[in-house]
Amino acid sequence: MSIADMKLQDDRMFQASPAPIWESVMRDHPGFINHTCPYLGPMLYWISRIVGAFNTLEIGVAQGYSSYFLASGVKDNGVRYNQSGMYYGCDVVDRSEFLNPLIEMGLPVTHLIRDSILLTADDFDNRPLDLIFQDGFHNTDHCLQELELFYPMLKGKGAGYIVIHDVYGPCEEYCNAIVKDPRYEFEFIRFLTAYGFAILRKMEGYDDRKYWPEGDQKIAVY
């Protein structure tokens, strides 16, 4: 099916089950909805905004559904905070068909066509990564190699996040392994739907101090 056909299919879904908020965020999307994880794409945009992601890596571009949201998050953060950033989309397959339209829209996109475990810090201009979306080859050993490679490139001190897809699917064994692995310090949460996904926050170097103004909580009475 062509992209236009897929959009028409989505259109019929919106007519059968109206969801104006969802439909509103699709208006500029050059691709179409990934119905395996339809809500995860837009959610990644908001995670990107919340964590202030300027440098984002997506492993596994596929048809670019989530790529649009992640790249938009980088661009909008850059506009808001006057900083430059980059979305890096890694795939073993050439996904230019889906990523070039994003570049044409003015989104900051770098397409890395290669095996994820061959990437180096140079590929990211030696910038630390704020957010990684891991959704490539789901073999446990492969995912473990990816984490071993990218963990040092991810910001620490509670400022870097990894979102892993399929943690109640093909990546269940992988996810269960890394949250128990003493080499990694994460706080994490999982979600059951759409084969499951997890949000992990890198806590290495996190200062467990009190952040609220002067130590102890200051509000007790109006």
Restricted to residues 127-146, the positions that interact with another protein (CB under 8 A) are 137-142
Does 214 bind another protein (CB under 8 A)? Our answer is no
Ramachandran category for residue 32: left, alpha or beta (phi over 0 → left; psi -120 to 50 → alpha): beta
The site that binds another protein (CB under 8 A) totals a number of residues, namely: 74
**Which tokens in the block code for residue 137?**
């080859």
Residue type, 17: S
Angle at 127 between CA 62 and CA 200, to 5 degrees: 60
Q: Which of residues 77-96 bind another protein (CB under 8 A)?
A: 79-80
SS3 label, residue 43: helix
Q: Which of residues 158-197 bind another protein (CB under 8 A)?
A: 158-159, 168-170, 172-174, 187-194, 196
Which residues does residue 90 pair with via DSSP β-bridges, in sequence order? 59, 112
Residue 84 beta carbon to another protein: minimum distance, rounded to whole angstroms:
16
Return the exposure string of 119-135: e unless at least 16 CB atoms fall within 10 Å of the residue's CB, then b: beeeebeeeebbbbbbb
Does 156 bind another protein (CB under 8 A)? Our answer is no
Stretch that binds another protein, among 83-91, 110-118, 126-134, 212-220 (CB under 8 A): 212-220
Nearer to another protein, 97 or 187 (CB): 187
Q: Which of residues 19-78 bind another protein (CB under 8 A)?
A: 19-30, 39-40, 42-43, 45-47, 49-52, 69, 72, 76
Residues counted in the chain = 222
Does 1 bind another protein (CB under 8 A)? Our answer is no
For another protein, the binding residue among 1, 15, 93, 120 (CB under 8 A) is: 15
Stretch that binds another protein, among 2-10, 55-63, 109-117, 122-130 (CB under 8 A): 2-10
Residue 94 beta carbon to another protein: minimum distance, rounded to whole angstroms:
21
Question: In Å, what is the CA distance from 125 to each residue of 67, 110, 140, 195, 205?
Answer: 19, 11, 28, 33, 23
